[in-house]
Structure 1
Amino acid sequence: MSGGVDSSVTAALLLDAGYDVIGVTMRLSEESRDADPNDRSCCSLSSVDDARRVSDVLGIPHYVMDFTAPFQNSVVDYFLYEYQRGRTPNPCIACNRYIKFEGLLNKSKNLGASYIATGHYACIQRGADGLYRLRKGADTDKDQSYVLYHLTQRTLAHILLPLGKFSKEEVRRKAETYHLPVAHKAESQEICFVPHDDYKTYLRKKRPESYAPGDIVDGMGNVLGRHDGISFYTIGQRKGLGIAAPHPLYVTALDASQNRVIVGGADAVYASELVASDLNWTMWDNLSEPMEAQAKIRYGKREIRTRIIPQREGSLYVCFAEPQRAATPGQSIVFYKDDIVLGGGVIDRVIS
C-alpha cells in the first residue's frame, strides 16, 4: 500500500471478495522522506501516513517493511550505473522486478500470505492449460502491463491484480464509496528517490564523476561543441545542445568509451532494428524460434509489428515493420500477442 488511491481500492476490493487482507507499505529510500513535507511520493512519510489511515478505515492491520538495502542495491545503484554508461534506465521496472515482486513476495510468503496484491492496471488469467497469462488492463490509457513483463509463471501464481478490469475514474468512484481519505489524491509521476524529480542534480550529488565534459560530434566524428557529461543527455534530445546549426540536431547516440555525445538530423533518430538482452518470458523459459509479435519500446509508446530472432548468446535481434523514433539503450522492449504479454528485455544496441 503506497498511500495512493489504486492500492487503497485494491485492499478494499479484496476485503469484499472475502480475502484476509494485511496492508504493507515498503520503506524504500530515505532520499525524499523528510526533505519536503509536501512530498506525496510512495517513499514519503506522508504517503506512509495515508496508507495507515486507509488501513484504519478498512479495519485491516498495517505494517511497514524495510527494503532500503535491497532497493539501494537493485534500483538506486543500477540507476546511477546505467546513466554513467550512457544508457537511460527505468527504475520503476527494476523496483517491480526485484523489490515488489521478488523481495516483497518472498517476505510475504514467510509471513504465511498466499498472495501479494498491487494496484497495477493489468490482468492475470489462468487458462485451461494451467498457464497464467498476463494481459493488458481494460483502461488503455492506464494499462501498466509494460512494466510487469518480468513476471514468471512462478510469480504470477501468487499475484492478484484486481484493478485490471476498471478505469481510473471507476477506481476513484469506488474509493468514494468506500469512504477512503485518498479518493482524490493526485498521482505522483516522479522517481520516488530523486528529490523534486531533478535527476541531473541527483547525479551530480551521488556520482560527481558523471560531470565529465567532452565533445559533441556528428556522425563523421567532427567536433561541433562540448557537453557537460554524457549522463545528462538522452537519445532523441534536441534542446540544451548549445550548437548553432542550419538544421535541427538531435542526440542519436552516447559513446561512453570516448565520452562523446553524437548528434545528427531528425532521420538519424529512427531505428529499424535493435538488439535486446536480459530477457524474460511470461509463459515459457526461453524463445528458441523466430516469431512475429507486437512490441513497445517505451511505456506510453504505441505498439509496432516486429519480427523477433533469438540469438545464441541469449539476446534477441528485433526488426521493426517501420522505423521507430528514439529507441534507447537501457529502456525495455516488451512483446505482445493481442493483449497478452509474452515477455521482454532491455535494449542494448540500436541499428539505424
Structure 2
Amino acid sequence: MKVLAAMSGGVDSAVAAARAVDAGHDVVGVHLALSRMPGTLRTGSRGCCTIEDSMDAQRAANLIGIPYYVWDFSERFKLDVVDDFVAEYSAGRTPNPCMRCNEKIKFAALLEKAIDLGFDAVCTGHYARLERSTGGALELHRASDEAKDQSYVLGVLTAEQLAHSMFPLGDTPSKAVVRAEAAARGLSVAAKPDSHDICFIPDGDTRGWLAERVGAENGAILDREGRVIGDHDGAHAFTVGQRRGLRLGVPADDGKPRFVLEVRPKTNEVVVGPKEALAIAQIAGHRFSWAGRPLDEPTHWFDCDVQIRAHADPVPARARVQDGRDGTEFVVVPTEPLDGVAPGQTAVVYLGTRVLGQFTIDRTVSAVPVGAASTAVGS
C-alpha cells in the first residue's frame, strides 16, 4: 500500500513509520505545520508541532529512508481547533483540543489530502488497534498496553476514516519497548519526552490566554441556592470541578472546600458547591458519531462502558439513542455517578475493548439535586 506517515517529531510516530516500511509499504513522511508563528506553540517536552519537532521528524525520516515533507495546515488548525477552543469556552463548555485536532486535522484534512494524492492510508503513532469483526466490519479497539491506550482520542473517527487508518503500535506491550526499538534503530528521538498540555498556549496560562481573546469581566460566584458568595474576573476562566482560584467571601456552613459546579457565560456567573454535588447520574449529547458499524438497534438500552477523559478509568453504564429536546441524542446512565463532568467534554462509549462511538456532552443530570429537583448543568 501507499502510506502517508504523519510524523509529529516524537518517538511513537517515528517507530510507526519505520514499522510501516518494514511491512513492505511505500511510505512517505509528512509533518504538519500548525502555526505560521512558531513562537505561539509550546516547545520542548510540552510541544508536538514546533520547528524543533519538525527537525526531529526530518532526521527520523532520513534515517528510515523515506521521503519527507512539511504541509502547512496552520489556517485549518486555527479555524477548526484554536477558534473552536475559544468558542467553546465562551459558551461555558470545556473542550478537548487534542480530540478536535484528531477529528478535524489528522483524520479529516490530512486524510482527505492523502486520498486525493493517491495514498491508501494514513499511519500514526497512536496506541490503538484495528480489528475485523466476525462479519468482516472494521472495528477500533483499545491498545494492548492499557496504560498507553489512546483509543479515547480516536473515538471521533468514522467507519470511512478507520478504513484508511493504520496504527502500527497498537499491539506493542509497552512504551518501553517502543523506546528500545527506536534506540536500536538509531533514532535520535528514542529518549524524547512525551508531549503534553495545550500546544497553542505557549506559557501554559490558559486563563490569561483566554482573557486576551474573550475578555475579562467581573461577575458573581453563587452557591447552589443562588446566593452571591464571591466574585471573579471572567467566567471563561473556570471549569467544572475546579477548586483552586475561587475568591469566596462567605465560608461554607460545613467548613469544607467548594468546587465549580456550573459556568453560566450568558450571565457571567459561576456556581459552586460541595464536592458531592459534582456527582453526575446521567450525561447526554446530540453531537455523536459511530466508530465503525453502529448497533443494529441503538434506541434500545444496552450495557457498555463510558470514558469521559483521556486518562480516566472506564465506568460501567447503560446507554441508548433517543429523541431529546435538541433532536436525537446519545444518553448514558453510569452504574455509579461520574465525577466532575463538564459540558463540552467528550464521552467515548465502549463495548469491551471496542470503541462504539462518542458524543460531546451537552447535558448532565446531578446525582445530588438541590431540594427535590434535578439540576441540568450546561442547559
Shared fold per TM-score greater than 0.5: yes
How many angstroms does 1:10 deviate by? 0.4
Query: Is the Cα contact below 8 Å between 1:34 and 1:44 reproduced in 2?
Result: no
Aligned residue type for 2:166: L
In 2, distance between residues paired with 1:115 and 1:327? 35
Deviations 1:232-263 (A, max 9, x none): 11111111112251221111111122211000
How many angstroms does 1:324 deviate by? 1.1
Structure 1 counterpart of 2:99: 93
In 1, distance between residues paired with 2:101 and 2:312? 21
Query: Equivalent of 1:309, from 320, 323, 328?
Result: 320
Residue correspondence of structure 1 range 200-215 to structure 2 within 5 A: 200-207=207-214, 209=215, 211-215=216-220
Instruction: Flag the 1:197–1:53 CA change in 2: closer, same or farther, 3 A.
Output: same
Query: Equivalent of 2:264, from 224, 234, 255?
Result: 255
In 2, distance between residues paired with 1:248 and 1:199? 23
Instruction: Flag the 1:36–1:138 CA change in 2: closer, same or farther, 3 A.
Output: closer
Structure 2 counterpart of 1:274: 283
Structure 2 counterpart of 1:58: 64
How many angstroms does 1:301 deviate by? 1.2
Query: Equivalent of 1:191, from 187, 198, 202?
Result: 198
Structure 2 counterpart of 1:234: 239
In 1, distance between residues paired with 2:99 and 2:63? 31
Structure 1 counterpart of 2:20: 14
Deviations 1:134-166 (A, max 9, x none): 000111111000011111211111110010111
Deviations 1:187-242 (A, max 9, x none): 110211111222112112233x2x12100001111000001111111111111112
Q: Indicate the SS of the match to 2:85.
A: helix
Structure 2 counterpart of 1:265: 274
Query: Is the Cα contact below 8 Å between 1:282 and 1:343 reproduced in 2?
Result: yes
Query: Equivalent of 2:153, from 147, 152, 160?
Result: 147
How many angstroms does 1:310 deviate by? 1.6
Aligned residue type for 1:276: G
Query: Is the Cα contact below 8 Å between 2:162 and 2:292 reproduced in 1?
Result: no
Structure 2 counterpart of 1:322: 336
The unaligned stretches of length 5 or more in structure 1 are none
Aligned residue type for 2:150: Q
Query: Equivalent of 1:78, from 81, 84, 105?
Result: 84
Query: Is the Cα contact below 8 Å between 2:9 and 2:49 reproduced in 1?
Result: no
Query: Equivalent of 2:116, from 104, 110, 115?
Result: 110
Q: Indicate the SS of the match to 1:216.
A: strand
Query: Is the Cα contact below 8 Å between 2:45 and 2:195 reproduced in 1?
Result: no
In 2, distance between residues paired with 1:264 and 1:37? 37
Deviations 1:177-196 (A, max 9, x none): 11101000011102111112
RMSD: 1.6
Aligned residue type for 2:10: G
Query: Is the Cα contact below 8 Å between 1:31 and 1:194 reproduced in 2?
Result: no
The unaligned stretches of length 5 or more in structure 2 are 1-6, 367-379
In 2, distance between residues paired with 1:327 and 1:67? 32
Aligned residues: 350
In 2, distance between residues paired with 1:334 and 1:16? 33
How many angstroms does 1:105 deviate by? 0.6
Structure 2 counterpart of 1:175: 182
Query: Is the Cα contact below 8 Å between 2:40 and 2:200 reproduced in 1?
Result: no
In 2, distance between residues paired with 1:163 and 1:133? 16
Q: Does 1:24 align with 2:37?
A: no
How many angstroms does 1:35 deviate by? 7.0
Instruction: Flag the 1:16–1:93 CA change in 2: closer, same or farther, 3 A.
Output: same
Query: Is the Cα contact below 8 Å between 1:293 and 1:335 reproduced in 2?
Result: yes
Instruction: Flag the 1:38–1:294 CA change in 2: closer, same or farther, 3 A.
Output: closer
Q: Does 1:331 align with 2:359?
A: no
In 1, distance between residues paired with 2:45 and 2:291? 35
Structure 1 counterpart of 2:3: none
In 2, distance between residues paired with 1:40 and 1:269? 30
Q: Does 1:289 align with 2:293?
A: no
Structure 2 counterpart of 1:131: 137
Q: Indicate the SS of the match to 2:350.
A: strand
Aligned residue type for 1:123: R
